[in-house]
Every structure is written in C-alpha cells, then in structure tokens.
C-alpha cells in the first residue's frame, strides 16, 4: 500500500510536468495546427538562464521569474523568426520547421556555451523529506503538485475569463471566423506562444530544481514525452493535455515499479513496455482521449 501511494505521488510529480508541457503543445496546435517539436528547447533556454544567473550569484528565490521570462521571450521569438512565415503551410512543413529550430538550438548551445553538461546547485530543501501517514514525501513532490495545480487554475481562468483567452479559444475553433469577428491573428498567435512559453518556463523551474544542470539536448527527451502526452489527450484539447500528461507519468512510474513482479527479467524492458502501450493506444484511439473534431465541409 505504502509502495503504491509512493509510486502514485512520484507519478503525479512527473506527470504534472508533462502536463504543463503538453498543455503548451496543445495550445499551439489549437491555434495553428503545428506540433511544435521545438517546444522542449524552452526548457533548455530556462536551464542556461539559470546556469548564467547562478554563475553571477543568483538565488533560487527569484530565479524562477528569470527562467519563466526567458522561456516566454524565447517562445515568442521562435514564432516571430520562423513560424510566422510558414503559418498557412501544410502541417508537414510546420512540423519540419519546428524540427529545424530544435536542431539549430542544439547547435547554438553547443557552439556558444559547450557541448558538455553544466551543473549548478539546487535549492537546499528539495530532497528534504517528511512523513505523512507512513509515506515519506519529498518537499519537491508537494511543490511540484502545488505549483502545477496553481498554474492550471491560472490557465483555466485566463482561457475562460479574459478576452485574450477567449480569442485564443475562438481561433482554435475556427480561425477564419475568429478573424472576421475582429480577432487579430498576429496578436492571438503571439499571445498563445507567450502563454505556452510561460507554461514551459514553469515546467523548466520544476525540472531544474530537481536536476539543476544544463546541456544542449536536454529539452528533447521531455519534449517527446510531452508530445506523446498531448496526442494521448487529444491535440487541441486542454483537458486532454493535462489528463494525457498525468496518465503518461503514472504509466511510467507504475510500469517501472511493478513490472518486475509481473514477470521477472522483464524490468529492464519497462521503457519498451511503456512505448508498446502507447503505440497500441494510438492504434485503438488515434484521436486521443478527448477527440477534438474539426468539421470539414465537403
């Protein structure tokens, strides 16, 4: 029982980070039908920002602000430099454009900083533990889950209550109609990228507090998981992104924790099993859990 709760807490921790990233990917997909494979680079940007500030005596009390600001800036820049110019291109072109940015980002960090990993100190309290009914919980688990819940609430308020959020949702529904109603395409899209950057920045803070290091390709692994989570949830669906992220986090930790008991010798294949389950999921439910229907007139 204790093990199960422990595993669930771990899964929620990883899963909520996936959820924040997946939400950004889903948001961008909603407004411009782009699966942004460069989204993970925002984590890298955040990591190098943190590294830079630590070198110059930064403290973890205010660094999250800098990390988030850097991610927002990078996200908006990305749109301005590349995606704006291919906005009406095919999804294929959009996808490859994001790959190009991912590649460029890797190369630039390698050339201008270093291909090697750069580590910096973490906040001292991260791995402090306390007992809660026989389960030992890390402070970071609580911080992660708390911050994620707060961010998701903020997201909900922004997209339900503010003019900006409503325009973005309208654009996701039907961009042409939204434009005719007076929504400004450039502003909505920049705004969506900024918000996705904010979400990625928060995710980056949570990741960096646990593993405070920066390397050029660190964003890619997180990105893959986030894309998978977003697609599992149903691209374009906000609820889906969150559910997909949490589900993927739980799936990973549960297979890792329980697979050896199912069949000894199988534990080393736990990651493979996760991906097999994912592949089967896409075969059975290609549109994700929360299917977003795009009516197409014929």
203 binds another protein (CB under 8 A): no
Nearest to 42, CA basis, from 168, 158, 202, 164: 202
Which residue in 80, 120, 258, 269 binds another protein (CB under 8 A)? 269
CA torsion, ordered 147, 187, 38, 19, to nearest 10 deg: 30
Q: Which is nearer to another protein, 42 or 63 (CB)?
A: 42
56 binds another protein (CB under 8 A): no
> Measured from the CB of residue 47, what is the shortest distance to another protein in angstroms?
18
Q: Which is nearer to another protein, 61 or 92 (CB)?
A: 92
107 binds another protein (CB under 8 A): yes
39 binds another protein (CB under 8 A): no
| Rg value, the chain, Cα | 19
180 binds another protein (CB under 8 A): no
Is residue 194 within 8 A of residue 75, CB to CB? The reply is yes
Is residue 117 within 8 A of residue 215, CB to CB? The reply is yes
Q: Which is nearer to another protein, 131 or 297 (CB)?
A: 297
- A 10 A CB-CB count for 140 gives 19
> Measured from the CB of residue 84, what is the shortest distance to another protein in angstroms?
10
Which residue in 47, 168, 231, 259 binds another protein (CB under 8 A)? 231
**What's the N-to-C CA distance of the chain in angstroms?**
55
224 binds another protein (CB under 8 A): yes
CA distance 298 to 295: 9
Q: Which is nearer to another protein, 200 or 231 (CB)?
A: 231
Alpha-carbon distance values, 40 to 141, 178, 225, 243, 268 (Å): 22, 29, 10, 19, 27
> Measured from the CB of residue 230, what is the shortest distance to another protein in angstroms?
10
For the chain, where are the E strands, in sequence order?
118-119, 129-132, 135-138, 213-214
**Site residues (vs another protein, CB under 8 A):** 35, 82, 85-86, 89-90, 92-93, 95-97, 99-108, 110-111, 115, 220, 224, 227-228, 231, 235, 268-269, 271-272, 275-276, 278-279, 282-283, 286-287, 296-298
């Amino acid at each position: 029982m204790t093990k199960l709760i422990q595993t669930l807490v771990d899964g929620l921790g990883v899963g909520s980070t996936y959820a924040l990233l997946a939400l950004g990917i889903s948001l961008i997909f909603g407004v411009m039908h782009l699966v942004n494979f460069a989204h993970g680079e925002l984590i890298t940007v955040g990591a190098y920002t943190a590294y830079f500030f630590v070198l110059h005596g930064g403290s973890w009390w205010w660094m999250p602000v800098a990390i988030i600001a850097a991610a927002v800036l990078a996200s908006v820049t990305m749109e301005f430099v590349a995606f704006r110019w291919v906005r009406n291109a095919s999804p294929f072109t959009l996808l490859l454009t994001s790959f190009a940015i991912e590649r460029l980002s890797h190369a630039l960090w390698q050339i201008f900083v270093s291909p090697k990993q750069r580590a910096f100190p973490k906040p001292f309290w991260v791995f402090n533990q306390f007992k809660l009914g026989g389960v030992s919980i890390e402070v970071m688990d609580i911080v992660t889950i708390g911050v994620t819940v707060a961010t998701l609430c903020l997201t909900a308020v922004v997209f339900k209550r503010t003019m900006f959020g409503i325009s973005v949702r309208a654009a996701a529904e039907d961009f042409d109609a939204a434009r005719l109603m007076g929504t400004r395409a450039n502003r909505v899209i920049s705004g969506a990228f900024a918000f996705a950057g904010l979400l990625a920045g928060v995710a980056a803070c949570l990741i960096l507090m646990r593993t405070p290091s920066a390397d050029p390709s660190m964003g890619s692994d997180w990105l893959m998981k986030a894309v998978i989570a977003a697609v599992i949830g149903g691209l374009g669906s906000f609820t889906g992104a969150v559910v997909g992220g949490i589900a993927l986090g739980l799936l990973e930790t549960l297979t890792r924790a329980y697979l050896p008991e199912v069949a000894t010798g199988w534990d080393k294949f736990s990651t493979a099993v996760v991906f097999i389950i994912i592949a089967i999921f896409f075969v059975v439910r290609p549109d994700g859990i929360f299917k977003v229907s795009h009516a197409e007139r014929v």
